[in-house]
Amino acid sequence: MPEHEAFALVQRYRLLVEEYEALDARIDELIMASDGGTDKMSAADLRQYRQWARERSEKLNAMRLLERQLDLSEDEDAGSE
C-alpha cells in the first residue's frame, strides 16, 4: 500500500476512535443519569441510548475493518513476542 494511502487510513482510524470514544462517553453519562441502567430510562432517553449504541457499533465495525486494512490485528502482535 502506498504511504499516502496508509497515512489517510491512519487518519480515518484516529477520527473513528475519537468518535467512538465520544459516543461511549455520552452513553455512559446517559446510563449514569438513569441510576446505572436502562430499566429506569424514559422512552426518549431509551431511544437516544439505542441510537448512540447503534452508531457506536458502526464505528467499531469500521475501526475493525481499517485495522485489517492496516494490518493492526492483535493476534499477530501477540504471536510475535
The Cα–Cα gap between 25 and 17 comes to 12
Q: What is the pLDDT of residues 10-62, one digit of tens each?
A: 999 999 999 999 999 999 999 999 998 999 999 999 999 999 999 999 999 99
Report which residue type is found at 21: E
pTM of the model: 0.80
How many Cβ atoms sit within 10 Å of the Cβ of residue 16? Answer: 19
CA 56 to chain centre: 5
How many Cβ atoms sit within 10 Å of the Cβ of residue 75? Answer: 7
Q: What is the pLDDT of residues 60-76, one digit of tens each?
A: 999 999 999 888 655 55
Cβ(55)–Cβ(1) under 8 Å? Answer: no
Beta strands in 1-81 (DSSP E): none
